């Protein structure tokens, strides 16, 4: 049996340019301490801010001491190109032999990634930016790849999207470094579009597992969100900060049964309560709250399935939200 503490993983090179531009992470490493025994090294990656796994998450490599080993993680343009996060900030790298952690390090490629500001070169540089920060809904609700960003009331929108980023995880992990990656300038608007994952999945799931009332968990999350926003706004006195409402609640039966089991928790009423709680909470607080949902809901306050992608909970029709966002910005 090898002594795990004597096994060394040396990272010789990470191709940063390819990681950022092509969403391909190329890692070159060597091992020391295997004593001529072949071992399977499991190389695991996640983002360096919230520890959200990438897909693929793990590549196994059969190793002996001496040779250079290369692993390539390709997460694809859907997650990594343009103004999606991908590997722009870096990577949290771990290596295991069986269940033993033999290497761990966060590699930060950029603390502030200037090219993000110029993601749409066809507009003059004097346009201020509208930074829309959140989960995959940031990309989906604002048109996926179909939409070429155009100014929203004289602000050029930049969708800073990180899939699977719940509000709970955002508040409890390294949100500061995540936001610091953005080249925000005075006069820009910063919009936080978070909470859909929590209202659809996280809060109902936690309520079931912890046998705790969903109202208690929702209020706790909202007050923590408020504390974050107060601190953030105080540190950005020359920027307007908008809080966007989560998506309208989704009803059971709109996506296939297996997918629903994996991605939707709680009852229809519980999910609606969570979303309504966001609206009620922020209507009584002194924040710029953009409640955009009215054009996307049915008569009962749930999301209108006609606005959703097939067998999905993401919004596909984006023209109305662009219009209402422009109208909202005119008022602030």
- How high is the pLDDT of residue 57? 95
Domain end residue (candidates: 81, 108, 135): 108
Give the pTM: 0.93
Measured distance CA(67)–CA(12) in Å, rounded: 12
Q: Could you tell me if 94 and 155 lie in one domain?
A: no
pLDDT at 75: 86
Distance between CA 26 and CA 69 in Å, rounded?
10
Least confident window among 74-88, 102-116, 182-196, 201-215: 74-88
Candidate from 69-83, 150-164, 283-297 with smallest mean pLDDT: 69-83
Which range has the top average pLDDT, 34-43, 122-131, 240-249? 240-249
CATH of the domain at 218: 3.40.50.1110
Q: Give burial (CB, 10 Å; 0-12/13-18/19+) of 102.
A: buried
- As given in the structure block, the two tokens for residue 5 are 């503490």
Q: Are residues 94 and 126 in the same domain?
A: no
308 and 186 in a single domain? The answer is: yes
Q: Identify whether residues 189 and 304 lie together within a single domain.
A: yes
Say yes or no: 253 and 325 in one domain.
Answer: yes
Whether 20 and 52 have beta carbons less than 8 Å apart is answered as no
**40 and 86 co-located in one domain:** yes
Residues 40 and 171 in one domain: no
Backbone angles phi, psi at 226, to 5 degrees: -60, -45
Task: Assign 36 a pLDDT band (cuts: 50, 70, 90).
Answer: confident
Distance from C-alpha of 197 to C-alpha of 167, rounded to nearest angstrom: 8
Residue 221 has pLDDT above 80, yes or no: yes
> Among 157-161, 197-201, 208-212, which stretch is predicted with the lowest mean pLDDT?
157-161
Q: In sequence order, what are the residues at sequence separation of 6 or more whose Cβ sits closer than 8 angstroms to the Cβ of residue 327?
A: 153
User: Residue 78: which pLDDT band, with cuts at 50, 70 and 90?
Assistant: low
Domain tally for the chain?
2
Examine the domain organization and report whether 160 and 67 are in the same domain.
Answer: no
pLDDT tens figures, 103-132:
999 999 998 888 888 765 556 667 889 999
Among 63, 93, 108, the domain-final residue is: 108
Q: What is the pLDDT of residue 41?
A: 96
Range of the structural domain that residue 54 is part of: 4-108
Instruction: Assess whether 267 and 319 both reside in one domain.
Output: yes
Together in a domain, 162 and 29: no
How far is 191 from 144, CA to CA, in rounded Å?
18
Identify the sign of the CA torsion 251, 257, 263, 266.
positive
- Identify whether residues 42 and 179 lie together within a single domain: no
Do 272 and 203 lie in one domain? The reply is yes
C-alpha torsion 49→53→57→61, nearest 10: 40
Q: Helix/strand/coil (H, E, C) string of the chain?
A: CCCHHHCEEEEEEECHHHHHHHCEEEEEEEEECCCCCCEEEEEEEECCCCCCEEEEEEEEEEECCCCCEEEEEECCHHHHCCCECCCCCEEEEEEEECCEEEEEEEEECCCCCHHHHHCCCCCCCCCEEEEEEECHHHHHHCCCCCCCCCCECCEEEEEEECCCCCHHHHHHCCHHHHHHCCCCCCCCEEEEECCHHHHHHHHHHHHHHHCCCHHHHHHHHHHHHHHHHHHHHHHCCCCEEEEECCCCCCCCCCCCHHHHHHHCCCCHHHHHHHHHHHHHHHHCCCCEEECCHHHHECCCCCECHHHECCCCCCECCCHHHHHHHHHHHHCC
Q: Which residue, of 91, 108, 125, is where some domain finishes?
A: 108
**pLDDT computed for residue 1 by the predictor:** 47
Residue 93: which CATH number? Answer: 2.60.40.1930
């Amino acid at each position: 049996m090898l002594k795990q503490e004597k096994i060394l993983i040396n990272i010789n090179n990470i191709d940063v340019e390819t990681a950022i531009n092509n969403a391909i992470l190329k890692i070159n490493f060597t091992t020391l301490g295997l004593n001529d025994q072949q071992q399977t090294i499991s190389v695991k990656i996640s983002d360096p801010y919230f520890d959200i796994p990438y897909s693929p998450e793990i590549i196994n490599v059969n190793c002996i001491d001496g040779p250079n080993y290369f692993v390539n993680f390709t997460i694809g343009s859907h997650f990594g190109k343009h103004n999606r996060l991908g590997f722009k900030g870096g990577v949290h790298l771990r290596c295991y032999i069986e269940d033993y952690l033999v290497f761990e390090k966060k590699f930060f490629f950029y603390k502030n990634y200037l090219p993000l500001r110029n993601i749409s070169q066809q507009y003059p540089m004097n346009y201020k930016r509208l930074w829309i920060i959140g989960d995959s809904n940031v990309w989906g609700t604002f048109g996926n790849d179909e939409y070429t960003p155009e100014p929203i009331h004289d602000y050029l929108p930049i969708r800073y999207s990180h899939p699977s980023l719940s509000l709970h995880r955002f508040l409890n992990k390294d949100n500061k470094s995540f936001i610091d990656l953005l080249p925000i300038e005075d006069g820009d608007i910063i919009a936080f579009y978070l909470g859909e994952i929590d209202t659809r999945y996280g809060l109902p799931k936690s309520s079931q597992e912890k046998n705790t009332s969903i109202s208690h968990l929702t209020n706790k999350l909202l007050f923590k969100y408020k504390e974050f926003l107060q601190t953030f706004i105080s540190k950005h006195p020359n920027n307007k900060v908008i809080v966007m409402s989560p998506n309208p609640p989704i009803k059971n039966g709109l996506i296939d049964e297996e997918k629903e089991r994996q991605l939707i928790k709680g009852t229809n009423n519980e999910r609606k309560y969570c979303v309504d709680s966001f609206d009620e909470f922020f209507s009584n607080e002194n924040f710029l709250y953009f409640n955009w949902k009215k054009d996307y809901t049915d008569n009962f306050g749930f999301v209108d399935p006609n606005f959703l992608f097939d067998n999905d909970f993401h919004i596909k029709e984006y023209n109305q939200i662009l219009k209402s966002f422009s109208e909202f910005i005119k008022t602030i």
